[in-house]
Amino acid sequence: MLYYALVFLIVALIAGVLGFGGIAGASASIAQILFFIFLALFVISLVMRVARR
């Protein structure tokens, strides 16, 4: 999932440089959402690992 967030971030940066504002904004939003989902799942997995021990 972090891979997809990075891919959408790179697409957003390239689209922003080329002047495609709408595509850049949409890609950046998707990358941000995927990053926060990844972060939440990572924290949940850490909590579950500590709870098992």
pLDDT in tens, 4-34: 888 888 888 888 888 887 888 888 888 899 8
Mean predicted confidence (pLDDT) in 40-49: 94
Report pLDDT for 20: 83
Domain count, the chain: 1
Q: Tell me the residue range of the domain where 10 lies.
A: 2-52
Q: Report the predicted TM-score, pTM, of the whole model to 2 decimal places.
A: 0.71
Report the C-alpha gap between 11 and 23 in whole angstroms.
Answer: 8
- Cα(22)–Cα(13) distance, integer angstroms: 12
